[in-house]
Amino acid sequence: MAKYTPELYDKQSKVQFFYNEFKRRDANPDGFDCKMKNWFTSINKYCEDEDEFLVNLNELRDRFECMSIRPQVSCLKLVLTNMIKERKLLPFEEFKRDFLHNSTDNNGWLGWGFSSVKKTIGWFSSSVSTSSDYTETIDEQLNIYDKYVNLTVFDRITRKVLTYVKENNLIGQLLKYNEVEEELSSKLNLDKKQLELIIQFLECKGNCKTVEMNTKIIKFEEGNATISDKELSLMRLEDAKLMIEADVEKIEEEIEKCKEEAREAIKQNNKAKGMNILKKKLRLNQQLERKHNQYDNIETLEEQLLSTDTNKQILDVLAKSTQVLKSKQAVPDDVDDLLISVEEAMVSHNSLLHDLSKPIGVQFDDDELEDELNQLIAEDEIEKVASSSTNNDLTENKFKDISKTANQPSTAQSNRDEPDELFERLRKLKSPPTTSISNKKDKVRYALLDDDL
């Protein structure tokens, strides 16, 4: 037996009678009226139990299938015709026209509802219709796929949404629409189509406001909901901060990758590749610095926006005070005002020329890069000598001499000649050693060089 079929129709023959088309009312008025009332009750029960305020004839046939029997189309058409006539259901297009495009009736937070609608439209009568109100004529314009709104259920679910918003402190905040949609759908067991209609209705009533940006945002209020330009700007700045944070994380990963690649290039004795990697690392560092500056600028703008209301009040007071002063004393000399304006224009012009004269592109100091690369090469060769030594016959004086040569500061020209001299020294050191060296000092020197890299 179908869940919403009246209990008195507990046999197949009775179900078939209930689902068949209506007989003429003058043949059995009581039977006609009883059947119609039972259909009203059954459809309302289905809408209430399922929290479904949108129905159509085809869906009702599926929902009321019982004992492999579905209601006849002509039967449901007559039922829907009478429910529409009695304002138990409202055609969807009429609902949109009267409820989603009319924002003049705003009674505040939870102030709208049946009482206000009755006064303006005269619907939602809770009394049971008399038998003479039923019609036997089917509205031929009814389509099995047309949507109809159960206003009683719609009102109840909408109030439930507003109550949830208020209890969870969502009033007065700018929220991302997709997040609100996901939360309300899961917590209140609503599908997104239902929620979309409810949001549209609330927006018309002034209980919420939506705005399309990069992503759609929504703000709930207790009445006359608006979203100011200041709030939109703050939302955009927050989005920009999130993008910058993602960029910073990516750049930092690239810098670490460059360090590893530079070490590998040195081990492969590839000087040109190492130089290019270091240049890329410098460019990434400059990008990282710019991102940090952008982030700081955004936070500064946020602080200024948050203080705009206070600043505006101060400016209003100053403006009014200035007007009082001007009314009490002579107007400043026009020449002085002109000179001040000219001076401000010249300062602005010189600042612009200074900015335009700045060099474009990244500038690198090749001498500094050469020094850093030579130092990395020397440290790598010393590491190889230290790891390949099989005895302790190397003298401490020769190790100090090599260490002093590797770390001695020099001019750009001496740095260009230093690697060849250092390679010659290291080549001699690779021959079988004759003196010993302190393993402890060797390890300390290797650790210091690795830290520099």
Q: Is 217 left (phi over 0), alpha (psi -120 to 50) or beta?
A: beta
Tell me whether residue 418 is in a domain. yes
pLDDT confidence of residue 434: 47
Q: Which of 169, 305, 285 is nearest to 234 (CA)?
A: 305
Q: Are residues 37 and 65 in the same domain?
A: yes
- Measured distance CA(439)–CA(444) in Å, rounded: 9
Tell me whether residue 343 is in a domain. no
**What H or E segment, with its residue span, contains residue 219?**
strand 216-220
Phi, psi of 80, rounded to the nearest 5 degrees: -65, -35
- Measured distance CA(252)–CA(269) in Å, rounded: 26
Q: Are residues 250 and 151 in the same domain?
A: no
| Residue tagged 């207790």 (tokens) | 222
Q: What's the order of all strands across the beta sheet hosting 54-55? A: 54-55, 148-149, 90-91
Question: Three-class SS of residue 218?
Answer: strand
Tell me whether residue 5 is in a domain. yes
Question: Three-class SS of residue 442?
Answer: helix
Tell me whether residue 199 is in a domain. yes
- Measured distance CA(453)–CA(256) in Å, rounded: 12
The total number of structural domains in the chain stands at 4
Tell me whether residue 409 is in a domain. yes
- Measured distance CA(368)–CA(411) in Å, rounded: 10
Tell me whether residue 361 is in a domain. no
Q: Are residues 39 and 149 in the same domain?
A: no
Tell me whether residue 416 is in a domain. yes
The secondary structure of 336-379, three-state, reads HHHHHHHHHHHHHHHHHHHHHCCCCCCCCCHHHHHHHHHHHHHH
Q: Are residues 208 and 317 in the same domain?
A: no
Q: Are residues 260 and 278 in the same domain?
A: yes
Q: Which domain holds residue 410?
A: 387-452
Q: Which of 83, 57, 76 is nearest to 18 (CA)?
A: 76
Q: Are residues 40 and 117 in the same domain?
A: no
| Residue tagged 């003049």 (tokens) | 104
pLDDT confidence of residue 128: 39
Q: Are residues 59 and 104 in the same domain?
A: no
pLDDT in single tens digits along all 453 residues of the chain:
456 666 656 677 788 888 888 988 888 888 899 899 999 999 999 999 988 999 999 999 988 888 888 899 999 999 999 999 988 899 999 888 888 875 444 444 444 433 343 333 333 334 334 445 788 888 888 888 899 999 999 999 999 999 999 999 999 888 889 999 999 999 998 888 889 999 999 998 889 999 888 788 899 988 888 888 888 888 888 888 989 999 999 999 999 999 898 888 888 888 888 889 889 989 999 999 999 999 999 888 888 887 777 777 787 777 877 777 666 665 566 667 777 877 887 888 788 677 666 666 556 667 777 777 888 888 777 877 777 664 455 445 444 554 554 455 544 444 445 556 666 666 665 555 544 444 444 554 444 444 444
Q: Are residues 107 and 206 in the same domain?
A: yes
For every residue of 147-187, DSSP letters joined together read -EE-HHHHHHHHHHHHHHHHHTT-BT--EEHHHHHHHHHHH
CATH for 183: 1.10.10.10
Q: Report the relative pairing of strands 175-176 and 216-220 from DSSP bridges.
A: antiparallel
| Residue tagged 């440290």 (tokens) | 379
pLDDT confidence of residue 333: 62
- Measured distance CA(95)–CA(197) in Å, rounded: 10
Are 223 and 217 in contact by the 8 Å Cβ rule? The answer is: no
Give CA separation, 86 vs 2, 99, 406, in Å: 25, 18, 99
| Residue tagged 């505006």 (tokens) | 312
Distance between the two ends of the chain, CA-based, in angstroms? Answer: 81
The one-letter code for the residue type at 197 is: L
Tell me whether residue 364 is in a domain. no
Q: Which of 307, 326, 345 is the last residue of a domain?
A: 326
Question: Three-class SS of residue 50?
Answer: helix
Q: Are residues 302 and 274 in the same domain?
A: yes
pLDDT confidence of residue 318: 78
This prediction has a pTM of 0.56
Q: Are residues 164 and 248 in the same domain?
A: no
